[in-house]
Amino acid sequence: MKELNKIAKNTITYLLGSVSSKLVAFFMIRIYTSYISPANYGLYDVSITYATLFSSIIFLDIWSGMMRYIFDYINPKEKYVVVKSSFIIFGSSIIVYSVFVFIFSNIVRLDYPFWVYIYGISISIQNLYGYLARGFGLNKKFAISGIVGTFVNSFFNVILLVWLNYNYSSLYISYVAGVLVQVIILESSLKSTRKIFESKIDYYLIKSLFKFSLPLSINSASYWLLNSYSRIAITNNLGAEQNGIYAIATRFGVMINLIATSFTMAWQEMAFSKTGNDKETSRFYSNATNTFLKLLLQATVILVPAIYVIFPVFVDNSYSESKPIIPIFILATSLGIVSTFLANILTAYKRTDTIFYSTAIAGVVNIFFISIFINVYGVIVAAYALLFGYLVNCAIRIILIKREIRLIIEWSKLIPQIFLLVISLFCFYYENLLINIIIMILCVVLMLYEYRIKIIDVYKSIRK
């Protein structure tokens, strides 16, 4: 119970940080849809899809390996040997990444190749410093830096898009500015640069980190096939404008991520420090998994009608085709969050190889559905393909985890939430504003009533 309370407390910390930053980012949808055409937004979305793929693979997801190994040590000096080893791998990756992007930009047309290149490096640096801060327990500083970085990002977008009427390269520039500010804030607290120089080089640890992170890198390629291949398929088969429509629909996934990512961050830290195959460990993982699934379902039930209500306020009419895609994408995103949650258990047992297998199979499922049906049923196929892909992914990971520990998922206790989810989906597609408002309010009241005691306990815990 102490572990779950710690997860709850850290979740609230991350949530408070994420709420401000994610809400600000969400409010920007109106500006994006008003000042950027669907075609241009589609081109931007494809370019950052490439940048994310290259940065994830080439940088080996070294930040995940770094945080996992940090938890193996107690002495701060030993922890910084891990950090130095990670930074050496990271620095080498920058060289490889630079060469690769230069070659790629001469083969595939990119409107703003320099900013796409910088965007990819910024993603990687943001991940590196974010995981570093969390690895050293600077959770509040991490949350605050995220808020400030998002405000800087949004500020530059408003200046460039609204006031200066600049082109869509504003999106890259603003993101890079936000990351730069966030990294400066974290570095001012960590003072990692000085400590890294003072730490010794451990070649064995570098090799160990590389071996640990390499499967994560390959997994990132598989994850790209599962989560991002659709953007390129849509652009090539249906055009950049349709990809812009799909990209705005995916923006609403940030709402479910708002809650779930905060929990996952807190969970990841706890999972990395909790291994073994005894009854206590099995009970811990089973309780955490059941709690997470229930909360995620409840959040999804509330968000579906909520999105129906707010959609006309936040999205320009030129992107109205994205509305029916959103509920399916929300379901797919929810399963993706469950997939990440399960992956953290496998990572805690250093079974990163199995993460790759499950993601690769799910990626193949995704590509199969898109390739066959996208020209027949249109852009919504991408959301369904993602949903089926993650369903397969989660099923495989549950089987793999059960080989390590006795994971017990109480499916029968999730039936009420699944029933409410079906009702909320029906109301969304029934297209009645009043019904969606009533369902949303009713579900919020039921959830607050169910967790009233826990909310009070967590509030008191944070006040201490």
Q: Residue 24 pLDDT more than 90?
A: no
> 272 or 424, which is more confident?
424
Question: Band of the pLDDT at 3, cuts 50, 70, 90?
Answer: low
Predicted local distance difference test score (pLDDT) of residue 274: 55
Question: Taking a C-beta distance cutoff of 8 angstroms, is the pair 206, 89 a contact?
Answer: yes
260-269 average pLDDT score: 59
Of the listed ranges 186-195, 245-254, 287-296, 429-438, the least confidently predicted one is 287-296
Distance CA 77, CA 82 (A): 9
Distance CA 116, CA 118 (A): 6
Give the DSSP per-residue string, 73-101: --SHHHHHHHHHHHHHHHHHHHHHHHHHH
Q: Distance between alpha carbon 309 and the CA centroid of its chain, in Å? A: 24
Distance CA 304, CA 310 (A): 10
Q: Residue 252 corresponds to which tokens in the numbers above?
A: 């609403």
Give per-residue pLDDT as tens, 52-69.
889 888 998 899 889 889
For residue 459, the one-letter residue type is Y
Question: Taking a C-beta distance cutoff of 8 angstroms, is the pair 55, 121 a contact?
Answer: yes
Using alpha carbons, select from 408, 394, 140, 411 the residue that is nearest to residue 266: 140
Question: Band of the pLDDT at 2, cuts 50, 70, 90?
Answer: low
162-191 average pLDDT score: 94
Give, in order, the Cα–Cα distances in Å from 136 to each of 56, 79, 311: 23, 9, 40
Predicted local distance difference test score (pLDDT) of residue 74: 86
Q: Residue 464 pLDDT more than 80?
A: no
Average per-residue pLDDT in the chain? 87
Q: Residue 13 pLDDT more than 60?
A: no
Q: Residue 234 pLDDT more than 90?
A: yes
* Global confidence as pTM: 0.82
> 246 or 10, which is more confident?
246
> 74 or 115, which is more confident?
115
Residues listed for the chain: 464
- In angstroms and rounded to an integer, the radius of gyration of the C-alpha atoms of the chain is 22
Q: Residue 35 pLDDT more than 70?
A: yes
User: Residue 37: in which H helix or E strand, if any?
Assistant: none
Phi, psi of 59 (to 5 degrees): -85, 5
Predicted local distance difference test score (pLDDT) of residue 463: 61
Q: Residue 269 pLDDT more than 70?
A: no
Predicted local distance difference test score (pLDDT) of residue 282: 76
Question: Band of the pLDDT at 219, cuts 50, 70, 90?
Answer: confident
Distance CA 384, CA 371 (A): 12
Give, in order, the Cα–Cα distances in Å from 206 to each of 33, 128, 164, 355, 356: 45, 16, 47, 22, 21
95-120 average pLDDT score: 94
Predicted local distance difference test score (pLDDT) of residue 326: 96
Question: Band of the pLDDT at 257, cuts 50, 70, 90?
Answer: confident
> 7 or 429, which is more confident?
429
Look up tokens 């930053």; give the residue.
Answer: 21
248-271 average pLDDT score: 70
> 168 or 451, which is more confident?
168
Question: Taking a C-beta distance cutoff of 8 angstroms, is the pair 454, 431 a contact?
Answer: no
Q: Residue 462 pLDDT more than 80?
A: no
Give per-residue pLDDT as tens, 283-316.
877 888 888 888 889 989 999 999 999 999 999 9
Give per-residue pLDDT as tens, 335-354.
998 998 888 788 777 676 78
Q: Residue 16 pLDDT more than 70?
A: no
DSSP category for residue 341: H
Three-state secondary-structure class, residue 60: coil
Predicted local distance difference test score (pLDDT) of residue 11: 55
Give per-residue pLDDT as tens, 365-402.
999 999 999 999 999 999 999 999 999 999 999 998 88
